[in-house]
């Protein structure tokens, strides 16, 4: 899990994303014009709805950002039966799956366009995640399959 930001003419847009480390699929995400804890809680909630994790069997890994150390986020983790994990402070490779995802987003979408409004950027991010990244974008880690195709192939 991690958060990134990108500017528009109206101001910044913040994206919180929850990735499945096995398939690299974005299983939860949230977009807002703020960095309050509900941004990451909403992304976590989407991941919980999509995955229905078994109590005490799923690790939710993040960095030490204020949103992830907040009372609200910790409460949601515990309520869902997730095991919280945080890496060492200042270790850039500790959250490399999320960082790599944001690097791809930056290179393939954010660096290619400018947005006048937050809504335009939010819609572009939605399309990129749900219509491109998860179902179609191939990954070397996933044997050159998309995250959805990799999950399907390994479930058989």
Angle 132-135-136 from CA coordinates, rounded to 5°: 60
β-bridge partners, 13: 6
Smallest Cα–Cα separation from 80: which of 55, 61, 57? Answer: 55
Position of tokens 């987003």? 105
Residue 110: partners with Cβ closer than 8 Å, 6 or more residues away: 6
Fold of the CATH domain 2-155: Nucleotidyltransferase; domain 5 (3.30.420)
On average, the pLDDT of the chain sits at: 94
- When pLDDT is cut at 50, 70 and 90, the band that residue 4 belongs to is very high
- When pLDDT is cut at 50, 70 and 90, the band that residue 152 belongs to is very high
Q: Give the pLDDT confidence of 70-121 residue by residue, as tens digits.
A: 999 999 999 999 999 987 776 666 788 999 999 999 999 999 999 999 999 9
Is residue 5 pLDDT above 80, yes or no?
Answer: yes
The first and second tokens of residue 112, run together, are: 């290619």
Question: Coil, strand, or helix at residue 122?
Answer: helix
Burial 13-46 (b: 16+ CB within 10 A, else e): bbbbbbbbeebbbbbbbbbbeebebbbbbbbbbb
Smallest Cα–Cα separation from 28: which of 60, 69, 65, 6? Answer: 60
Position of tokens 């070397």? 140
């Amino acid at each position: 899990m991690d958060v990134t930001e990108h500017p528009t003419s109206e101001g910044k847009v913040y994206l919180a994303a929850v990735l499945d480390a096995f398939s690299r699929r974005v299983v939860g995400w949230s977009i807002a014009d703020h960095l309050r804890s509900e941004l990451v809680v909403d992304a976590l909630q989407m991941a919980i709805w999509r995955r229905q994790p078994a109590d005490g069997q799923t690790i939710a890994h993040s960095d030490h950002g204020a949103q992830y150390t907040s009372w609200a986020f910790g409460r949601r983790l515990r309520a869902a039966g997730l095991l919280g994990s945080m890496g060492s402070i200042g270790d850039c490779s500790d959250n490399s799956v999320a960082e790599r995802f944001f690097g791809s987003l930056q290179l393939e979408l954010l660096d290619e366009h400018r947005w006048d409004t937050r809504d335009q950027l939010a819609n572009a991010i939605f399309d990129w995640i749900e219509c491109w990244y998860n179902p179609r974008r191939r990954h070397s880690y996933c044997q050159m399959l998309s995250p959805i195709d990799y999950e399907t192939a390994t479930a058989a």
